[in-house]
Chain A
Amino acid sequence: MKKVREKTAKKRSKEEEEEEEEQIFNFKDKPAGKEEEDEDLSDSEESVFSGLEDSGSDSEEDEKESDDNDDEDDDDVTAVESKQPKQTEEEEEKEEVVGGVTEREEEEKKEDEYEHDSSDEEDIRNTVGNIPMEWYKDFPHIGYNLDGKKIFKPIRNKDELDDFLDKMENPDYWRTVHDKQTGSDIVLSDEQVELVNRLQKGQFGDVNFNEYQPSVEFFSSDVMIHPVTNRPADKRSFIPSLIEKEKVSKLVHAIKMGWIKPRRVEDDTRGRFYDLWAGEDSSILGRHKMHLPAPKIPLPGHQESYNPPPEYLFTEEELALWEQQDASDRKLPFVPVKFSSLRQVPAFSRFIHERFERCLDLYLCPRQRKMRVNVNPEDLIPKLPKPKDLQPFPTTQSLVYRGHSGLVRSISVSPSGQWLASGSDDGSVRFWEVCSSRCMKTVQVGGAVKRPVCLSTCRPHSYVASSCECGRAVHQVAWHAKGDYLASVMPDHSSHLQVLIHQLSRRRSQNPFRKNKGLVQCVSFHPVRPYFFVATQRSVRIYNLVKQEMTKKLQANSKWISSMAVHPGGDHVICGSYDCRLSWFDLDLSTKPYKMLRHHKKAVRGAAYHRSYPLFASASDDGSVIVCHGTVYNDLMQNPLIVPVKVLRGHVITHDLGVLDVTFHPTQPWVFSSGADATIRLFT
């Protein structure tokens, strides 16, 4: 380890030596450089003084000042001071040599002089340069002087206490500065302190310098007689530039080739109008035929006036209603207001809104041509033959038959037209004389239990068949035209024994149907031919009794058939239904009704044809009997003419039931009706 240390020490010493040598060399070099610099300097200074010789006094003052400055700078600056006199000497020597030098050169030289006159180089006694002095902490010296000799640290044994004492005792302590490079303390002179103060305040170091000298405006707005410089104009100022020429030719080429477009002329025609429709060629495209012009805005009414008639103003209720309503439901989009004079009318706040909405309508609303039905309502009413021309038909109520205590379910007139039989819910059958409206006979059929009684009168024999409660309710009885047969209906969902045909002469009953085909509502024999009509809920079946087969099935287009009547000719059938309709079937035409008559407001309960007159009647729960004229023509091509001729009212609606049955007089154009109010009425 020791060896190594020694070696390192040796090495270090060697290195130090080398360094020293180098430094020496450097030093040797340096002076040479210095000399050169000095020469330069000398040149400059010589020139300075040579130029200023003529003026004389100023330069001398300058010199003195500079000398003064040097004196002020430092006491220690000896080398420089010693150098300066030398320089002056040299200057003086060379003055004669260089005489005629231009002013400009002088200026340049002056600048040079200032370059070297920086304060950093003033006090170079320690040549180590600007390094942290801690590096020399462990050495006895702190650097090297100009001659390469070590500058030893001044022997200082000042510790903190000494320092403090010095601070307390020495009156110049505050102006003492420690120079790290030389390790010496420097006491600043008064001038130096003042200089520091001035610099600290941001003032110029030189006391005599006036910073607010009046400035001479060199480049002013005034046109001077003489030019600023006397320099002759450049050649390039009167010779066309080649570069520019090249550029221009490039642009010209570009324009020629169409790469550059000339600047557009401001379009004058844009705001200009002309006669657009001058050559009015009526070239109407297909588009124009299809075009639907937007509907115009509806014109304002009295309500919109600023001073409307008082009746158009809103009352409070109307205003409240208006405010409650949604904007789309309102009849008027604004509230009518009255102003007493024109000057009080304010701006309409929704004006822009309304215009905007109109715009939206114009381009967003789908347009459609809607056919507006513009008909006179009178024209819609069909032209019918006048009822007057279709007389006779019953017009007024002439007789009322009273006596029953329950609903009169069914009535029937004798073929002679003298007698009327009625069956009622009170369980009795009454016989009336038609003309006198007298009850001739009362037969109690139902016994104690009041049950509906149905009856029907046979034409040739004046038999009355009445049905009542016998196990099950018989709904209806119907006679054959010859009077030998009698059909009865007992509606029942389950059995096939709904319809029974009884033969009077043999006193025998038979069941014509093997199968149950729905709830049978009513039955009827064909007046001439061996046909049998069975009305179920929604359809009417026609059976041929001879062939024993179904010939036709009529679709009534109604929910529930209530009654049925066959025209005495046998080719037409009417069906009343509980959904207020009366359907007229033409058997020759189709199985669908030829006409649906929706005259009644409530369920139709009864329907009947007149035997000889072209009349038919329907009775309904709304308490009315409607008599219609229904001419049937023998000509097959001509459709029947159906005209309602009279609405007969008279029955009182009781328990929501009106007229229950209706029958025509066999010879007269009279009609009987029985109602829920326990009366029978005759209309003649």
Chain B
Amino acid sequence: MGGLQKKKYERGSVTNYITRNKARKKLRLSLPDFRRLCILKGIYPHEPKHKKKVNKGSTAPRTFYLIKDIRFLLHEPIVGKFRDYKVFVRKLKKAYGKTEWSAVERLRENKPTYKLDHIIKERYPSFIDALRDIDDALCMCFLFSTFARTGKCHVQTIQLCRRLTVEWMNYVVAARALRKVFISIKGIYYQAEVMGQLITWLVPYQFSHDHPTDVDYRVMATFTELYTTLLGFINFRLYHSLNLLYPPKLDSKAECELKEENEEDYALNSECYLEKLSALSASLARMVSSAEEEEAQLDQFPVEGEDMEKLEAREREQKEQEAQKKLFDGLKFFLNREVPRESLAFIIRCFGGEVSWDKSVCIGSTYEVTEETITHHIVDRPNASTQYINRYYIQPQWVYDCINAKIVLPVEDYFLGVTLPPHLSPFVEEKEGDYMPPEKVKIMALQRGEKPAQEQEDEEEEDEDEDEEEEEDDNDDEEEDEEEDEEESEEKNLKKMEKQRSQGKSLQVKVTPGKMKVENPERLEQEEKAEEKRLAIMMMKKKEKYLYDKIMFGKKRKIREANKLTAKRKAHDDAEKANKKKTRK
């Protein structure tokens, strides 16, 4: 055979991948710079299908990037800036070493900086793309805004994060976009719907952080750099979509109200503004002063059949949403000083409630404790010292639960000193067969409009129903066994007779009245079907059988877990009941 011998690893999938080190050398960057570039440009490694082939026969663990990605990075202007920065640092070090302070100053003035605008635009060609990817940005910014100025990152970054998050919250308030909230042990989750995108973010509790040592803050800072830019542009666009001024300005009317005599004592004028914004108690100024938000009416299109149903469902949903947006309209809240002010003020304002707090807690309180029209006073203590008659004293969980249930829940369960009902996650959507805690059932009943007075009975009944249902599920499995049992019993009788016969004994001549065998036609049908299914399963192909078994295994596990939870709950409830009885006695 003629021709050149084909060399190994020069064709095929090898040519599509490049190892990290080679990529780094190709770009002529140090590892930290390469890492930063990857973070900013959103380049991630790829796992080749045949690792050994790509790795040129070696099985050493390597990170592979697509060679196209690396080529794409070659043209990035920021790479040049990274090199400039390296040179800058070198020069600065030299100047320090020589104690040439004028040179140091000059260098510092000419410190190379870069902007990420083009990267944002490139990574997110449309606004919706950017919105979709904003979850992590929000989480990170909220985290960074809670950092103390301890040198873990630049103070400017912290301030910028704070500013952006405050702007975001103000937008959510103005757009009334919040949908769900959840108090978890990690922090408070919020979910908002912005331009049809569900955006979830997590805000840590307001405590100082115990900074771990095994975390690379440079990586986080790079992410934050990108995220702040992204969030800034998104905020700008969102504010403009609502005809709000950006950077946000407080409504002039509201501003006048907020003006107080002792304002100067509180903070500098420049800082004061952000503080007032972050108080979230005043509405924002609009570019065009429209009195009310005009609500877009859905145009009616003549549709038929299934589309009609869909349309109706959509309309219903929209109505529900509108109702939810006005959940707290007309309610006036007052926050005691021990409740998380920012979170509560944010969510209450998102749903149209009015909120205030003690003047000494934060700037921007709008009314005093003594105000007569306050309807709800949120307290997180066992008891309040002075109580006004015409308002409810409730625990903060009530507000969160109301939002998740989309209705104003009865306040009885949330009075001071009362054991709170469990706080459920609004993000869990139970499908058929999943375990549903009884509290959720209760809330769903409330949503349907049933009266809470009958609730307790209902609850019990429902519990029973549930149990029965589950039993039925079990029955399906058991039925088959039963059939077999019956067969077995018949066989036993036969066997007995046979034995007697074989042993040569004369059969008992006694005639016993026979029993009518009641054949349940439904049951027979079921049995037939079950057998058919079993036979069909036998005929399945190997691959499909494997898949089927896997799916069924998963299903069974789910059922098992649900059963476990119900059992646990039942045990708990029983124990409680017993306790109650004991205490009664």
Contact = CB atoms under 8 A, between A and B. Distances in A.
Given A302-B437, A342-B339, A381-B533, A599 B538 contact: yes
A683 B100 CA distance: 106
Interface stretch (A24-32, A126-134, A347-355, A562-570): A347-355
A304 B185 contact: yes
Given A311-B437, A380-B547, A644 B423 contact: no
Nearest to B528: A388
A277 interface: yes
A280 interface: yes
A355 B572 contact: no
Given A300-B425, A347-B205, A342 B215 contact: no
A270 B115 contact: yes
Contacts of B216: 356
A214 interface: no
B39 interface: yes
Interface residues of A, number: 90
Contacts of A349: 210
Contacts of B437: 302, 309, 311
B384 interface: no
B219 A297 contact: no
B236 A274 contact: yes
Contacts of B555: 377
B143 A351 contact: yes
A352 B63 CA distance: 26
A312 to B, nearest CB: 7
A362 interface: yes
Given A302-B437, A305-B182, A293 B552 contact: no
Interface string B177-212: 000001111110100000000001000110111111
Interface stretch (A220-228, A281-289, A502-510, A609-617): A281-289
Interface string B490-512: 01000000100010000000000
B67 to A, nearest CB: 13
Interface in B263-311: none
A192 interface: no
Contacts of B237: 275-277
Interface string A175-215: 00000000000000000000000000000000000000000
A642 B535 CA distance: 12
Interface stretch (A70-78, A364-372, A511-519, A544-552): A364-372
A345 B205 contact: yes
Contacts of A597: 538-539
B35 A363 contact: yes
A85 B443 CA distance: 127
Contacts, number: 258
Interface in A398-456: 400, 402
B46 interface: yes
Nearest to B439: A309
A386 B143 CA distance: 63
Place the interface of chain B in its size category: 35 or more
Interface in B436-450: 437-439
A643 B187 contact: no
A346 interface: yes
Interface string A293-319: 110110111101111111110010000
A256 interface: no
Contacts of B39: 359, 362-363
Interface string B404-427: 000000000000000110111101
Contacts of B260: none
B205 to A, nearest CB: 5
B81 interface: no
A314 to B, nearest CB: 10
Most buried by B among A282, A305, A306: A306
Contacts of B207: 346-347
Interface stretch (B134-142, B368-376, B469-477): B134-142
Interface stretch (A38-46, A112-120, A333-341, A535-543): A333-341
A282 B246 contact: no
B365 interface: no
Contact of A367 (B44, B338, B502): B44
A402 B498 contact: yes
A281 to B, nearest CB: 8
B120 interface: yes
B380 A282 contact: no
Contacts of A365: 44-45
A443 B582 CA distance: 80
Contact of B184 (A281, A306, A311, A402): A306
Contacts of B533: 381
B211 A364 contact: no
Contacts of B380: 341-343
B323 interface: no
A493 interface: no
A352 B209 contact: yes
B110 A264 contact: yes
A340 B420 contact: yes
7 contacts: A288-B125, A297-B135, A348-B186, A352-B209, A352-B211, A366-B44, A642-B539
Given A301-B427, A342-B396, A597-B538, 16 more contacts: A267-B113, A271-B232, A276-B236, A293-B132, A297-B136, A307-B397, A311-B437, A343-B338, A347-B209, A351-B186, A352-B209, A354-B186, A358-B136, A368-B47, A373-B547, A386-B532
